[in-house]
Amino acid sequence: MITLEPLRHGLRQALESIAEGWHHLRERAARALTYFTHRPTDEGADRERMARSPRWGLLPAEIKEEKDRIVVRLEVPGMEPDRFDIQVLGDTLIVRGEKVAERERIGGRYYLLERAYGAFERVVPLPVRVKASGAEATYRRGVLTVVLPKETPETGRRIPIKVT
């Protein structure tokens, strides 16, 4: 007689492995998951596409700390450089923008819409305080790179005491 126990054990291990993978993916992508606000449009085809496109998208980032600066790279494909608004508040980088759908005048019907469109805001916590005044940004091949000089901590200064 064949027992089902080995089959149950194998199935249980497979399900646990899948659950662990999803949990790991969710933890790693939690900050990158970004909400896109759709704006109403006047044209029917664009309105349909915007309504069917996802409101959430991944904008993954990487942060590299170097000796005197922080380099943040953010994947934001399909944008124009003038559509970004970048700010530094304390130890946080805030990137806002709007990803606009390309307008197509030809007929057809979408079967798959996975690209998110609309206004977004991505908040990136920085490991140290930076000088916003010296920040520089570039955009190339769908990657926004923001270079932020580190804020130098004030060094202690000995205060002499005057004898009166």
Pick from 51, 45, 44, 114: nearest CA to 78: 114
Binned at pLDDT 50, 70 and 90, residue 5 comes out as confident
Give the whole-angstrom CA distance, residue 47 versus residue 129.
42
Which tens digit of pLDDT belongs to each residue from 104-118? 666 677 777 778 888
Binned at pLDDT 50, 70 and 90, residue 139 comes out as very high
Query: CA of 115: how far to CAs of 63, 119, 140, in Å?
Result: 24, 13, 19
pTM of the full predicted structure? 0.71
Q: Which of 47-51, 123-127, 135-139 has the lowest mean pLDDT?
A: 47-51
